[in-house]
Each structure stands twice: as C-alpha cells, then as structure tokens.
Amino acid sequence: MGFLRNLSRGATFLGLVGILNFNSANAQTLYTGDGSNEPGFVPPPASISLPPPPPARMSSGESFIPYPPPPVVPQARSEKKNPPKPPVLMTKIRQGMPLEWNAFPDDANGLLRSLKNGVDANFSLEVKSLEEISSNPEQNPILFRGGHYHFSFTTEQRKKLREYLLNGGTIIFDTSLGSKPFYDSVRQEITTIFPETSLQRLNLDHPVFHSYYDLDNSGSRVDTWIEGLTINCRTFVFLSRWGLGAGWSGDKENTHQAYSVDFARKLGMNISAYSTAQRAWQRNMINSLSFRDIDSNKSGKFSLAQAIYNGEWKTRHKGISILLSQFNKRTQVPVSFSLEELRFSDPRIFDHPVIYLTGHESFELSDREKANVRDYLIKGGIILAEACCGRKAFDSSFRKMISQVLPAQVLLPVPLEETIFNLPNKIREVGTTPALANLLKSSRTTPRLEAISLQGRHAVIYSPYGLAGGWELSQNPYSLGYDDSSSLLLGENLLFNCLIE
C-alpha cells in the first residue's frame, strides 16, 4: 500500500501498469507510437520514490500532505486561522499517464521553493488538465509541461492554448532529460497552434537570460538551448531542448542531457521574472489601432514592403501602419497602409522603393536572396532596417549580411547635420527606454543611425536601437530603444528621407 501512496492522485489502473512495465527489464513502451523506440529517446528515471505533486493551491514552501489526507477537524472560533494561500504562479499540466507528464514529480514545486528561498517570492503550484485551466492568465500565469514521450493536443486544447497565450500567458515545455520524441512533438504542436510564426532558438542576448540573473553557458553543464515563440516582442512559449525539471527537483546525480541544478534553477527564476513583467506590460499596454486603406489603389501613394526571411521577421504587427498614419498627418503625403510581405528572392521586391527589415534573433539569407538585395540596392531601392528591441543577435546578422551584399561598403554613422535628422522634425536628442537608459546611464541621448550611401543617396538606413515598439506607443520593458515620442519623430524623418532620395 505504501507504493500506491506514492502515485499521483490522477494515476489510473493503466498508468500503474505503465509504471510497472517501465521497471521491468527493457520494457519502457507505454503505447504504440510513444517514441520509446526512436533515436534520441531518453526514458524517465527508474526511481519513482520522489513525492507526488502537491494538491491544488498548495504553497511551494509547505510540506507534502500524505495521501489520503486526514479528516477535517472544525476549528473553534478562538483557534488561529491558517494564512491565505500564496498566489498561483505555475500550473503543471496533467495529461495522460503519470510517466508522460510527471516523471519528476518535484520539478515545478522545486522551482517555486527556489523562488521562495532565493528571492523571498512565495507562490503556489496547481496541477490541472488543460480542460481545467483558465484562458485568463491571471488565474494561471505560467503553464508547465515536461515529458519524454510523444504527445498531441486535441483541436479544442489547441484553441484554448492559443487564446490563453495571446491573452498574456506563458508555457514552458521541458524535455526532462533531453528526450527527442517529446521535443519533436512540442515543435509539431506549436507549429499547428501558431502557423503564422515559428519557434526559434534564443540567443544569449535574449532578455530571459538576463531578467534576474545574467546567464551564459558557464555552469550550465550542457550547451544552453532554449527555443522561443515570440509575437509583438513578447516570448510566451519556451522549449528547453535539455532537461530543466531535473535541476529544479535537485537531481545532482543524473548524467543525461540536463542542466546543472544551479543553472536550471536560475534559468527557471529568470523565465518567471520575464513572464511576470511581460504579462503586466501586455495588460497595461495601449490597444494599438491598425489602419487599412479605404480603396486598394496604391497609385501616387507612399508605400513599403516588409522583408520575410527564415526566422522571426515580423516583430510588431501594427507599428508600420501607425507610423504611416502619423507621417501622413505630419506631411500630408498620401500613404498606402497595405504592407506587402515578400522574400528577397521574390522579383516583386523591385516594385517597391522601400523595404523594411527587422527582427530579434540571428538570421541568414540564401545566395540568391543576397544577389537580389544587391541588385535591388544598385537599381535605386532602399532598405530601412532596425534591430527590434536593440537585440544584438539581429544586429550581428544584419551587419554580416550587408557586408556580404556590398563588400566594398561600410555602415557609417549619419551626422546630425544631414536631412534625416532635420526634416520634417529637427532632432538633436532622443529619449530612451528604461533598459537603454540603464545601459547608457542616461535617459536622453544623441540619436544613432547608420547608413550606406550609393550614388549620392542612402541605400541602406539602419537603427541598432528599437523603434517599432515606440511606433505602437508601447515599447517593451526589456527593449533597448527610443521612447515612444522620439521613435515616432525619428520614424517620420526616416520615411521622409526615403521619399526624397
């Protein structure tokens, strides 16, 4: 009976059979197609002696309650009442048999204990099925799903997850000990839920690696590999290629593909801090308007195209249309709000005088795309680019790409005396976001733009600091960029310069 008490409350007879099969020699298959016979499969740990997850709304600092719990004894009015439970931070997703989602029963609760012991942040954990979670992230801010085996969501579960995540929620997927079948299933599911974008490996300049602790590869034991899904500068899906939960639970002895205990806990605390700040930002940000053309006729109107590439090419979905509206009001120049999205390999790029290029993470163009970029610039086209949120990964990739396209040219700082800083707005200094102010040690700075000139005109204009969030009047709290008003003024000048070149 003691063995049965160590099973989670959600264990079924089938789950018990799965556990018993796992402990027998070479019997790790739960069901046909679970991935246990595929390359890269890592089985759950053999031991099942760890405690089960806590019941709903149990504080991370509390001891585990034996199962079954003792009967409730009514308290007299004079007895001291228990303090209210801490707010829920993390909800562990219960799906299938226990070994499918609960191979490390103390993983999420171990992270919450680290938060309590390390930064005195007291939160509680819930264990729920996807059907039980609320699509309001205030009720369950962070979801966690670990695993080793293949899995899939239903159509209704996918719909609910999409709504929850776009409302401000966050989900962490953990491959436990680096099991590839689970990793492959996550990528497939996220692609199905968000076909308009894709998971991308996060570079170490991503704010999640610096939101509380400054982390790099030192002390991680394995190469840091976290993938993220980002929309409107907020990363809300995190997929760890190597095991996080083992470290959260304090497993120092495992020799599999998992992060060290210290690194895993620090990274988990960083994800918690980042997600909390981003949820608050999304809740309070201005609900930006988007602008559409009354008629489809683009003749005589100033228009842009946006570059598509393999990676996170669309960072802010409404920024350009808002900037074009402000530009129209400021200059009375007719504009087209219809933004055509094209790859550089598409010959239609030559129909557009200006192409906007942005992103957060690293990217590469094919040889054909780079050849088209070269022809486009030489024939009079303009590339207007920015490192959204001031991210170094995009900055490095963009500089490398331009040096390959135009090897004889160099991006040079644009002097304040040039038109780009004087029409239609005279700009001598700009306000900065809090993150950039902290970096520069000043809330005001000289605007920084770089350019490549061809045949007496600016063919490439580049901002290494973020602008698009300011165009939407909602710069991300982690953005290294200019404040909203400065971004709009500078954006108007950029468009005007493109118009007169």
Determine contact, residues 291/303, Cβ cutoff 8 Å: no
User: Confidence band (pLDDT; 50, 70, 90) for 301?
Assistant: confident
Place of tokens 């009967």: 71
Q: Which of 59-63, 212-216, 288-292 is predicted least confidently?
A: 59-63
Q: In 207-335, where do the E strands start and end? A: 226-231, 234-240, 305-308
Residue 292 lies in a domain: no
The answer for residues whose C-beta is within 8 angstroms of residue 417's C-beta and 6 or more apart is none
**273 plus 325 within the same structural domain:** no
Q: What is the distance between the alpha carbons of residues 200 and 113, in angstroms, rounded to a whole number?
A: 30
The string of DSSP codes covering 357-403 is EEESS-----HHHHHHHHHHHHTT-EEEEEEGGG-HHHHHHHHHHHH
Please tell me the predicted confidence (pLDDT) of residue 181: 97
Tell me the average pLDDT across 242-249: 94
Please tell me the predicted confidence (pLDDT) of residue 283: 76
Q: Would you put residue 50 in left (φ > 0), alpha (ψ -120 to 50) or beta?
A: beta
Please tell me the predicted confidence (pLDDT) of residue 287: 55
Q: What is the mean pLDDT of the chain?
A: 86
Q: What is the distance between the alpha carbons of residues 174 and 146, in angstroms, rounded to a whole number?
A: 4
**56 plus 155 within the same structural domain:** yes
Determine contact, residues 306/339, Cβ cutoff 8 Å: yes
Q: What is the distance between the alpha carbons of residues 60 and 45, in angstroms, rounded to a whole number?
A: 23
**188 plus 121 within the same structural domain:** yes
Q: Which of 55-59, 153-157, 480-484 is predicted least confidently?
A: 55-59
Place of tokens 């007879």: 13
Q: Which of 75-79, 263-267, 296-300 is predicted least confidently?
A: 75-79
CA 466 to each of CA 387, 479, 490: distance values in angstroms, whole numbers, following the listed order:
6, 7, 11
Q: Which structural domain, as residue segments, surrounds residue 401?
A: 305-500
**Proportion of the chain above pLDDT 90, given as a percent:** 71
Pairing of strands 305-308, 340-343: parallel
**141 plus 214 within the same structural domain:** yes
Residue 208 lies in a domain: yes
Please tell me the predicted confidence (pLDDT) of residue 84: 75
Determine contact, residues 111/263, Cβ cutoff 8 Å: no
**118 plus 206 within the same structural domain:** yes
Residue 413 lies in a domain: yes
Query: Looking at 240, 255, 284, which one is the last position of a domain?
Result: 284
**254 plus 309 within the same structural domain:** no
Dihedral sign for Cα atoms in the order 37, 43, 48, 54: negative
Helix/strand/coil for 187: helix
Residue 14 lies in a domain: yes
Determine contact, residues 463/385, Cβ cutoff 8 Å: yes
Residue 22 lies in a domain: yes
CATH of the domain at 12: 3.40.50.12140
Residue 8: is its pLDDT beyond 50? no
Query: Looking at 223, 255, 284, which one is the last position of a domain?
Result: 284
Helix/strand/coil for 285: coil
The string of DSSP codes covering 299-329 is TT-B--EEEE-SS-----SSHHHHHHHHHHH
Residue 73 lies in a domain: no
DSSP 130: T
CA angle 369, 373, 379 (to 5 degrees): 140
Residue 290 lies in a domain: no
Residue 457: is its pLDDT beyond 90? yes
Name the domain count of the chain.
2
**254 plus 377 within the same structural domain:** no
Dihedral sign for Cα atoms in the order 240, 243, 247, 252: negative
Place of tokens 């083992």: 246
Q: Kindly state the tokens that stand for 182.
A: 């689970």
**405 plus 267 within the same structural domain:** no
Determine contact, residues 327/491, Cβ cutoff 8 Å: yes
Determine contact, residues 241/255, Cβ cutoff 8 Å: no
Q: Kindly state the tokens that stand for 170.
A: 């966050």
Residue 325: is its pLDDT beyond 80? yes
User: Confidence band (pLDDT; 50, 70, 90) for 335?
Assistant: confident
Query: Looking at 249, 284, 319, which one is the last position of a domain?
Result: 284
Q: What is the distance between the alpha carbons of residues 489 and 427, in angstroms, rounded to a whole number?
A: 8
Q: Tell me, what amino acid is at 305?
A: A
Place of tokens 């610039």: 377
Residue 339: is its pLDDT beyond 90? no
Residue 358 lies in a domain: yes
**279 plus 391 within the same structural domain:** no
Please tell me the predicted confidence (pLDDT) of residue 296: 56
**153 plus 21 within the same structural domain:** yes
Place of tokens 């890592």: 42
Return the closest-CA partner of residue 53 out of 13, 1, 2, 112: 112
Please tell me the predicted confidence (pLDDT) of residue 211: 95
**227 plus 360 within the same structural domain:** no
- Exposure on the CB side of residue 227, measured as CA atoms within 13 A: 19
Determine contact, residues 354/381, Cβ cutoff 8 Å: yes
Q: Tell me, what amino acid is at 288?
A: S
**279 plus 310 within the same structural domain:** no
- pLDDT, tens digit, 9 for 90 and up, residues 28-82: 788 899 999 999 999 998 654 444 445 544 444 443 333 344 444 444 455 556 6
